[in-house]
Structure 1
Amino acid sequence: MDTVEFIQIRRFIVKLGKMLHKYGTPAFRLEAYLLEVATYLGVHASFISTPTSLTFVIWSDRHEDEYNHASRLLPGDLDMNALSLTDELAGSLLNGELTLAAADKRLDEIDAMGSPYGKWLTGGAFGMATSAFAMLMGASWAEIGWSGLLGLLAYVWTLWSERSKRVNLMLEPATAFIAALLACAIGTYIDPGINIPLIVLSSVIVFVPGLALTMGLAELSSRNMVSGTARTMDAVMQLFKLYFGAFLGVSAGFSLFGENVYQPAESLPYWATWLSVFLLCLALVAIFRTRVKHIPWAMAAAFIAYSATAWSSDYMSPGLGAFVGAFALGLFANAFTRIANQPATIVAMHGLIVLVPGSKTYIGLNSFISGQDFVQADHLGQEVFLIFMSLVAGLIFANVVMPTKKAL
Structure 2
Amino acid sequence: MDTQEFIKIRRFIVKLGKMLHKYGTPAFRLEAHLLEVATYLGVNSSFISTPTSLTFVIWSDFHEDEYNHAARVQPGDIDLGSLSRTDELVNRLLKGELTLVEADVELTRIDGLPNFYHPAVEFFAFGLSTGSFALVMGSSFDDAVAAAAIGLIMYLIYFWSTKSKRVALMQEPLVALVAGVCACAISSLFDPDINIRLVVLSAIIIFIPGLALTIGLAELSSRNLMSGTARVMDALMQLFKLYFGAFLGIAIGIWLFSEVELVPTKAAPKYAVWIAVLTLCSALVVIFKLRIKHAPWAIMCGFIGYFGTYWASKYLEFGLGTFVGAFAVGIFANIFTKLANAPASIVLMQGLIVLVPGSKTYISLNSFVSGKDFMQTEHIGQETFVIFMSLVAGLIFANVVMPTKKAL
TM-score normalised to structure 2 length = 0.99
Residues in 1 aligned to 2:310 and 2:131: alpha-carbon distance in whole angstroms: 21
Residues in 2 aligned to 1:314 and 1:184: alpha-carbon distance in whole angstroms: 36
Alignment of 1:176-195 (within 5 A): 176-195=176-195
Is this contact kept in 2: 1:218–1:228, CA < 8 A? yes
Once the two structures are TM-superposed, the CA of residue 193 in structure 1 deviates from its matched residue by 3.0
Once the two structures are TM-superposed, the CA of residue 264 in structure 1 deviates from its matched residue by 2.7
SS of 1:68 mapped into structure 2: strand
Residues in 2 aligned to 1:132 and 1:331: alpha-carbon distance in whole angstroms: 26
Q: Does 1:233 align with 2:233?
A: yes
Q: Which amino acid aligns with 1:59?
A: W
Once the two structures are TM-superposed, the CA of residue 158 in structure 1 deviates from its matched residue by 0.6
CA shift digits 1:52-102 (9 cap, x unpaired): 000000001111100000000000011011000000001101111011111
| Corresponding position of 1:309 | 309
Residues in 2 aligned to 1:110 and 1:85: alpha-carbon distance in whole angstroms: 7
| Corresponding position of 1:171 | 171
| Corresponding position of 2:140 | 140
Q: Which amino acid aligns with 1:249?
A: G
Moved more, 139-148 or 74-83: 139-148
| Corresponding position of 1:90 | 90
| Corresponding position of 1:344 | 344
Aligned positions, number: 408
| Corresponding position of 1:125 | 125
Is this contact kept in 2: 1:344–1:404, CA < 8 A? no
SS of 1:378 mapped into structure 2: coil
Is this contact kept in 2: 1:334–1:405, CA < 8 A? no
| Corresponding position of 1:49 | 49
SS of 2:235 mapped into structure 1: helix
| Corresponding position of 1:371 | 371
Q: Determine what percentage of the aligned residue pairs are the same residue.
A: 64
Once the two structures are TM-superposed, the CA of residue 272 in structure 1 deviates from its matched residue by 1.2
| Corresponding position of 1:69 | 69
SS of 2:162 mapped into structure 1: helix
CA shift digits 1:12-49 (9 cap, x unpaired): 00000000000000000000000000001100000000
Once the two structures are TM-superposed, the CA of residue 276 in structure 1 deviates from its matched residue by 1.1
Alignment of 1:235-384 (within 5 A): 235-384=235-384
Q: Which amino acid aligns with 2:335?
A: A
Q: Does 1:25 align with 2:13?
A: no
Once the two structures are TM-superposed, the CA of residue 166 in structure 1 deviates from its matched residue by 0.8
Q: Which amino acid aligns with 1:3?
A: T
Residues in 2 aligned to 1:290 and 1:263: alpha-carbon distance in whole angstroms: 39
Is this contact kept in 1: 2:131–2:144, CA < 8 A? yes
| Corresponding position of 2:155 | 155
| Corresponding position of 1:14 | 14
Residues in 1 aligned to 2:203 and 2:286: alpha-carbon distance in whole angstroms: 17
SS of 1:55 mapped into structure 2: strand
Structure 1: segments with no counterpart, 5+ residues: none
Once the two structures are TM-superposed, the CA of residue 267 in structure 1 deviates from its matched residue by 2.5
Residues in 1 aligned to 2:329 and 2:97: alpha-carbon distance in whole angstroms: 33
SS of 1:163 mapped into structure 2: coil
CA shift digits 1:246-279 (9 cap, x unpaired): 0001111111211111223532111111211111
Structure 2: segments with no counterpart, 5+ residues: none
Residues in 1 aligned to 2:313 and 2:265: alpha-carbon distance in whole angstroms: 26
Once the two structures are TM-superposed, the CA of residue 114 in structure 1 deviates from its matched residue by 2.3
| Corresponding position of 2:203 | 203
Residues in 2 aligned to 1:198 and 1:162: alpha-carbon distance in whole angstroms: 27
Runs of 4+, deviation exceeding 6 Å: none
Once the two structures are TM-superposed, the CA of residue 170 in structure 1 deviates from its matched residue by 0.5
Q: Which amino acid aligns with 2:173?
A: P
CA shift digits 1:352-392 (9 cap, x unpaired): 00000000000000011111111111110110000000000
Residues in 1 aligned to 2:16 and 2:310: alpha-carbon distance in whole angstroms: 39
Is this contact kept in 1: 2:143–2:194, CA < 8 A? yes
Q: What is the root-mean-square deviation of aligned Cα atoms in Å? A: 0.8
Q: Which amino acid aligns with 2:291?
A: R
Residues in 1 aligned to 2:320 and 2:260: alpha-carbon distance in whole angstroms: 37
Change (3 A) 1:79 1:97: same
Moved more, 139-148 or 209-218: 139-148
Moved more, 138-147 or 347-356: 138-147
Once the two structures are TM-superposed, the CA of residue 163 in structure 1 deviates from its matched residue by 1.1
Q: Which amino acid aligns with 1:344?
A: A
Residues in 1 aligned to 2:302 and 2:184: alpha-carbon distance in whole angstroms: 33
SS of 2:263 mapped into structure 1: coil
SS of 1:342 mapped into structure 2: coil
